[in-house]
Amino acid sequence: MTKLEDPSKIEEIVGAERHQTDHIGRAISAEQRVYILHSNDCAAEVADGLDLRDCWYSRALDRGIDMRVWEGYQDMPVVLEISEDWGDLQPVRAVAP
């Protein structure tokens, strides 16, 4: 199951600033772990009682990732999407520094 991280450190871990609508992630190969920086829109719902582990992106991460899809996107911040085929988490493009 997805683990909640310290919100004050997640931007540093992912290596990007929180975006208004995009979810950004980082697959850290040394840890064999994927971190999600939820969008501002999603994070704002926490005030309304949303548990970020119930977000669709967190649920997709719980399904695991296809390493073939993530090849070339590890160890960098990327915009995330949920695949239509399998409902898994996948990178769309690298986030500009």
User: What does the domain layout of the chain look like in residue ranges?
Assistant: 10-94
Interacting residues of 96 by C-beta distance below 8 A, sequence separation 6+: none
Q: Say which amino acid occupies 93.
A: R
- The CA distance from 70 to 73, in Å, is 5
pLDDT of residue 61: 95
- The CA distance from 86 to 81, in Å, is 12
Is the model's pTM score more than 0.85?
A: yes
Residues of the chain with pLDDT under 70: 1
Strand order in the sheet with 78-82: 33-37, 24-28, 78-82, 89-94
